[in-house]
Amino acid sequence: MAHALPAPCTSVTRHKGGGALAWRRQAAAGTCASGVLAGHELEPLKTAAPIFLHRFHSRCTMTPLTELSRPEGGDIAKMNLLNMDAENRVVLNVGGIRHETYKATLKKIPATRLSRLTEALANYDPVLNEYFFDRHPGVFAQVLNYYRTGKLHYPTDVCGPLFEEELEFWGLDANQVEPCCWMTYTQHRDTQETLAVLDRLDLDTEKPSDEEVARKFGFEEDYYNGTVSWWQQLKPQMWSLFDEPYSSNAAKIIGVISVFFICVSIISFCLKTHPDMRVPVIRNYTVTTANQTQSWALDKVQTNAHIAFFYIECVCNAWFTLEILVRFISSPNKCEFVKSSVNIIDYIATMSFYIDLILQKYASHVENADILEFFSIIRIMRLFKLTRHSSGLKILIQTFRASAKELTLLVFFLVLGIVIFASLVYYAERIQTNPHNDFNSIPLGLWWALVTMTTVGYGDMAPKTYVGMFVGALCALAGVLTIALPVPVIVSNFAMYYSHTQARAKLPKKRRRVINVEPTRPPLRAPGVPGAPAGPLAPGMGPQAVNRRMNAIKTNHPKDMMGPNMGNNHQSPIYCNTRPAATQIQLNTALRA
């Protein structure tokens, strides 16, 4: 068919009926229904907007209505049904992917974003007749499926926080995820808890900025005002020097010195108990012999540690005292510093040395004064101070904290098994004649059951009868199973913390910042017309809106072929099947220009 406009006069009229847009070309002499538009008046239109007219002609198919057969009544009813079906559908463009569904489907879940769609929204595109959302298209596929089926599934290729953010945007509850996807979905929550724990452990070796240091030590206002005093500058340096071993080279040297004194103190504490490292105390006393003569004798009363260990302890504790005082004075939070478990051990261990000195000087004559030395064993606990210098020890301690429930369950089943098997073996050994019975009471059996269930087996006690041996075998098997069950949980916790620590260490320290910029719509200028005035042509249209995704509009749709006067099409000599909304806007643009 020809694509040229018929002469002498051509008018383009737009009819709305039942939501369908029907476009008709009416040829008549003189004046048209929509206004006078003679043939010579088309010349400025072609000159001003040749692109619009070219697209109008190229997308129109001119067919004389005399060649079209009049629709039958059944065909009209079918097309009316198609028209109603098209009116009940809605197009959603999410992240560049178009989804089409029924409006009734979106009403299934009220009080959500999709249930309140109207054409007055800013994201409605009247050109394409669709709603545009710049959101994740993969998650929206599951969201739309939730509206259709009532079941919300979790996509495995999406991170959990992103899925929660998308559900919050669409107004859905994340707790409605199906049970089959719940375990996979909640894994990110465990990961977030693990990362939060690692943040509290302070495993990062990155040097903080001056602003972060000022916020940590509470002089942020002075930092912004530029009135930071010398003490405020010195205090963070002292803290990082003695409490953050990886903050600088000087801090590493201080850390090495601290570890050295800890190791020397513990080695000295252990070696001074060795017999070859002790000096005997000789007492000279007078005795009366059988001849009634007096004589003197030497006797070894006790042994004391060598004097060298005393000087070693003095030097080590002098360093520990200096370290505690400096860290306390320069700490950003005194209350948290005092309540720290490692610091409490350090206080007690250091104080035990000074208490021991006082007792040796003023209470050495007191009987059983050596018992007071038992409290000096707290110095061994200084080993926990090494956690400040080793991330592995921090992870190990945190693993036991995270596995507290499993360890409690292990102890409970061990105690239960010990009591049961101690009672069984006591009565089993008394059934038969057993002159060498080692189980004279149930409390003695408790010790045997503990040693057997933990697979130690000292051999100091053993059943002698067949029934007792059978009970012993059951006790050993039960102990292996009881201890083996919670061990994988503890191992998995340690592997989880360790893997996350290694991953955090490999992450880049600095990342590019993302700036939130609101989308804007610049004024539209008529393409191809230089110096044309700027101004919006239609709601929701931007630059080059007339060219935007025209292939997304369906051609030959039933809505485009129907109008309110379907049966009166014989009145027009030409019928045009085209894309109505875009074409009308194009012609309006050209006419304004």
* 77 or 397: which leads in pLDDT: 397
pLDDT over threshold 60, residue 412:
yes
Q: What is the pLDDT of residue 37?
A: 40
Q: What is the pLDDT of residue 372?
A: 63
Average pLDDT (154-162) is: 88
Average pLDDT (73-102) is: 80
Average pLDDT (482-491) is: 86
Q: What is the pLDDT of residue 556?
A: 40
Strand order in the sheet with 124-125: 97-102, 89-94, 130-133, 124-125
Q: What is the pLDDT of residue 433?
A: 80
188 residue type, one letter: H
pLDDT over threshold 50, residue 443:
yes
Beta bridge partners of 297: 285
- Separation between Cα atoms, residue 299 and residue 7, nearest integer Å: 141
pTM, two decimals, is 0.56
pLDDT over threshold 90, residue 574:
no
DSSP state of 245: T
Q: What is the pLDDT of residue 341?
A: 82
pLDDT over threshold 70, residue 120:
yes
DSSP state of 167: H
Q: Quick one: pLDDT band at residue 22, thresholds 50, 70, 90?
A: very low
Whats the size of the chain, residue-wise? Answer: 593
- Separation between Cα atoms, residue 543 and residue 142, nearest integer Å: 33
Write out the two tokens for 577.
């099947």
- Separation between Cα atoms, residue 409 and residue 486, nearest integer Å: 8
3-state DSSP call for residue 455? coil
The answer to whether 128 touches 91, Cβ cutoff 8 Å, is yes
- Separation between Cα atoms, residue 399 and residue 412, nearest integer Å: 19
Q: What is the pLDDT of residue 52?
A: 43
56 residue type, one letter: F
- Separation between Cα atoms, residue 547 and residue 539, nearest integer Å: 16
Q: Quick one: pLDDT band at residue 544, thresholds 50, 70, 90?
A: very low
